[in-house]
Each structure stands twice: as structure tokens, then as C-alpha cells.
Chain A
Amino acid sequence: MVSFVIDGKNVQAEGGAMLLNVARQNGIVIPTLCAHDTVARSGACRLCVVEVTKGKRTRIVTSCLYPVDEGIVVSTKTERVMNVRSLVMQLLMARCPESQLLKDMAKEMGIEPQPSFRVETDKGKCILCRLCVKTCEDVVGVSAIGLSRRGKDKIVGPPFMEDSVTCVGCGACAYVCPTDHIVMESTDGRRKIWGRAFRMKACDTCGRYFAPVDQLKWISKKTGTPLSELSVCLSCK
């Protein structure tokens, strides 16, 4: 256990625990976009910045990736923190002006979009946080999508931006995406994602469409459960 100060409050935590988590456990709100419990933190969105004083040195760090230590002094709302966070927000908004989520967050933080940044309208709502990519790789295990190209041309999607052969249509990427960039349309019996259409399986008991056939096949292959045992939806199990 280590003890330290956060916004003037003495707190204790397991040494090495990530600052963001400790702050949240203590009721302190820090805005984030790319921190998700199911995948490793990457520090992509830079929104979670706070100020940390350790010894004689005070600096801005990303709280989602900062392990807490004995005696540090953390401030989450100083002017410097707000300035950095505001700049990050401005840049995100310039990249993704279509994102309602970003607009709402900015409004809550009292930040106006900067007219001096060039607004880009061809990037969709993707902030390149890589959450979807890591979820697809680490949680689902199929690696159907990635971030290809580089710099201002970087883009999320399947290889060659074509229908992915490995995608199972599970929709986990759309679920974790903080900005709703990934479009998934489910109509009766069919689901469309990343430009590819998937046939849905109807529950043997209630008849409701509950998962893409390809996803069930994948689960069956991965866990060794016979496909027949996966033909009933969760609520009918």
C-alpha cells in the first residue's frame, strides 16, 4: 500500500495501481475516451491528463498509464491541466467535427471549437484510439481490422479496406468504439458491418435472431463446444 495526495485528499492504494482507477475509486472524475476495462491501456486519446508532483518535479501525465507511488501529489483540475485537456479536445474536435459525443464532452468542459484549427470532414468519427483493433485481436481473437497507413492518412478497417475474411460479425468493435465510428446495421436475419453482410442465427427456442452464424462457428471452434449447443439465445438458456 502507498499513500499519496490527490486533489488535496489523502488516499491509499495498492502500489503500481493506475492513477486513473484510483482517482475514480475516490470519486474524482477524469474524462477519458480510450480507457476500457477489457483491453490494455494505450494512452491514445490523451484526455485523461493530470498534474503529478513527485519529489521536486511537477509534470503532466496520462493518468490511465501512470502507476501511483508513495508521496506523490496529484492535481486533476489545475489551470495547466485544463489547458492541456482543452487543447486535446480542440484537436479531437478538429479531426472529428461530426462526433456528437465530442461536442457534448466539450460543452460539459466549457470548451469551444477553435476556428484556427482546420476542420477535417473526411475522417468520420474515428479518433484512432485503437480500442476496436485491440478488442478484435485480444478479446475476440480474429484480428479482422487494423489501423493502416500513416500520419494524416491513417485509417481503421480490414486489410485492403475490403470485406474481411476473418471477421465473424460479432460487433465487439462497434460496441467498444467510444465515438460510434463503426456502423453496424442489424435487420431481421442479417447484420452488416465493415461492408460485409452476415447471416444471423435464429434461436431454436424463441426464434429471435441473436448472433451471426459465423460468430457461433468461431466460438464453437475456439471453445470446443458443439455448434448445436450454441443454437439457443442467452435468455432462453
Chain B
Amino acid sequence: MKKAQTMDKKVKDIIKKYYGDKTAMIAILQDVQEEFRYLPKETLSFISKKMDVPLTRIYEIATFYNAFSLKPRGKHTIEVCLGTACHVQGASRLIDRLERDLSISSGDTTKDKMFTLEEVRCLGCCSLAPVIRISGNVHPYLTQDELPKILRNYK
């Protein structure tokens, strides 16, 4: 109960930050996503009631953009580049190794909620291929044997 209340409070503050402006829905959802690392269902219903926007409309937005997740995400997002350059440099081996080591498939989150694994297309630094990005940090010229050590640094 207590947890739900603080959650509601946080969401209320976010809505207030945008003066409850319905056209700021994407920005509001972005803030909620950042705060909870996903968009909890109850929160979406709560926003719908508070801002008088049909839940359907909010759900449409929440499922349209990749930036939003309806499932809890890990503390760190690992983005493995599978763009052309990285692919040629063996990025698929990196993703295989990560899937194995973290025991999840791409798109999922580890049980301890530490990592979410994602595939992306070209991070825009092909000369560093193959690269992965963890919580915004780019790790260049990777080989799969370096992965365990890198992950340990994030725990």
C-alpha cells in the first residue's frame, strides 16, 4: 500500500511538472519510464484518470515507441549493435555470449533486474565495430571474452 502511494505521489509530481498538459503525454511517459524503468499498468490507469485522457490513447502511445516498456527493465540496458559493420565484425557472437551468460534472450531482463538485453541497428560509430553500449557507455572493439569482466563493472 505504502509503495503504491509513493508511486502515485511521484507520478502526480511528474504530471504537475507539465501542468497536466495532455499534449505533453509523451514527455510525461518518458519521465515515468525513467523513474520506474517501465510503465506500470496501474500508473497508466492513474494518469488516464488524473489527466482525463482515455487509457486507450495512452496505451497506443506506450506501445508505439521503443523508448517505452510495459515490462520492468533492468538497471542497465545492454545494446548490442547488429548494424552492418558490427555484424561483419562478429556481433552475433557477442549477443550469443550475452544471452548465454545472462540466461535471457534478447529483449528480456535478467531475474535480478540488473540487465536488459537489446539488439540495435548501428550505433553510429562503425569504425569501433563491434560495439555494445551499456547504460549509454560505448564499449568498442569487443571480443566475447571481454564481456564477463565488463558486466562485472556494472554490478
Residues of A bordering B, CB below 8 Å: 133, 137, 142-150, 158-160, 164, 166
Contact = CB atoms under 8 A, between A and B. Distances in A.
A50 B44 CA distance: 43
A143 B63 contact: no
Interface of B: 41, 44, 54-60, 63-64
Contact of B41 (A143, A158, A160, A164): A160
Contacts of A150: 63-64
A150 B41 CA distance: 19
Contacts of B44: 159
A166 B54 contact: yes
A159 B59 contact: yes
Contacts of B58: 159
Contact of B59 (A137, A142, A160): A160
Closest 5 CB pairs of A and B: A143-B54, A159-B59, A146-B56, A148-B63, A146-B60
A143 B60 contact: no
Contacts of A144: 56
Contacts of A148: 59-60, 63-64
A164 B64 CA distance: 19
Contacts of A145: 56
Nearest to A142: B54
A131 to B, nearest CB: 15
Nearest to A147: B60
A135 to B, nearest CB: 13
Contacts of A160: 41, 59
23 contacts: A133-B56, A137-B54, A137-B56, A142-B54, A143-B54, A143-B56, A143-B57, A146-B54, A146-B56, A146-B59, A146-B60, A148-B59, A148-B60, A148-B64, A149-B63, A150-B63, A159-B58, A159-B59, A160-B41, A164-B56, A166-B54, A166-B55, A166-B56
A146 to B, nearest CB: 4
A227 B58 CA distance: 31
A149 B61 CA distance: 8
Contacts of B54: 137, 142-143, 146, 166
A211 to B, nearest CB: 22
Contacts of B55: 143, 159, 166
Contacts of A133: 56
Nearest to B55: A159
A144 B60 CA distance: 12
A150 B64 CA distance: 5
B29 to A, nearest CB: 14
A148 B59 CA distance: 7
Nearest to B63: A148
Contacts of B56: 133, 137, 143-146, 158-159, 164, 166
